[in-house]
Structure 1
Amino acid sequence: MLAPRKTLWSTPDTIISTAWTWIRPLLEEDSKLCDVGCGDGRVLLSWARAYTAEKSSQKPPTFWGIDIDSERIQQAQRELERAQQEGSIDPALSITFLCLNALEHVSLFADAHILFLYLIPRGLRLMYPLLTNQYVVTYMAPLSTDETPLRHEMIAVPHQPGAAWPLYLYKLNKSRLE
């Protein structure tokens, strides 16, 4: 298990929107955004809504969500279809949700320009050797003691008054450990 699952914890909107403000300037033509442990897809769907609202002339990124829980992937797919029908997400955007074990399908995120990881510390330790020259956003736990984040903030979460949780942004410049 890589992600927090005992209770299905979802990434709060304040975390998602802060992460978007951090990564948006980093997007390049044809960027691939990937959320490993995407759950119900809320991070990628929120980012796709934000991108749609911008009406950018830039070639859009592709969005990839990977999760091992088929029910959560089905939830993500249903929400994507609903958002496309209501017009909050452009149907032309490439958004894919896959039910897979990410550790067995490294090729799906190895070429991602930006990764979002809301994983337990053990999950981050397992993922770290698989990551290369990428931007990585982590929520709740730092990526590795070997990496210094470009950004680190404590973000307030409305559902827990007075609470703030850590968000990190890294730029990795390393080869994958084989």
Structure 2
Amino acid sequence: MTDPRPTAPTVLVVMGVSGSGKSTVAALLAERLGWTFADGDDFHTPDSIARMRDGHPLDDAARQPWLGRIRAWIDARLAAGESAVVACSALKRAYRRTLIGASPRIRLVFLEGSRELIQDRIRARHGHFMPATLLDSQFAALEPPGPDEDPITVGIEEGPDAIVAAVATRLGIPAGDICG
């Protein structure tokens, strides 16, 4: 079996609106590649989580420290020589610039899906702080990544296994070379 890790450490930022499957896909991708995983939700402050739980979207000022904490985690992984995957909404281009900058070692994975499909998923999930009422604000804030950001864009109509396989293929890792 070929080692699926690139020669230099790489961090994948799995992005999309709430309910697109970021955490599920990112965790599964990290597991299959043998990379470190982090969920961007874990970098929110209790105050930010309470605000969202109460149905109030975060503004750019509230997001900046959160994005900074995620970028610090990314930088620490790269400095330690680790490849990693982080789930983070990264809805706006400015947010992605904070997370990725000009680093060729950080790649963007965009999970793309229809509002209807994502709304159905949010309504079906339990125990998450983000209510379905904030989905409109997520889509309003979403600036899909452009070609200059070199995203790996994957539709979410298929299940997590198919999405992970599609991402691995785009990374140049044959599906047979990932664990699972």
TM-score by length of 2: 0.36
Higher relative contact order (CA 8 A, sep 6+): 2
More strand by percentage: 1
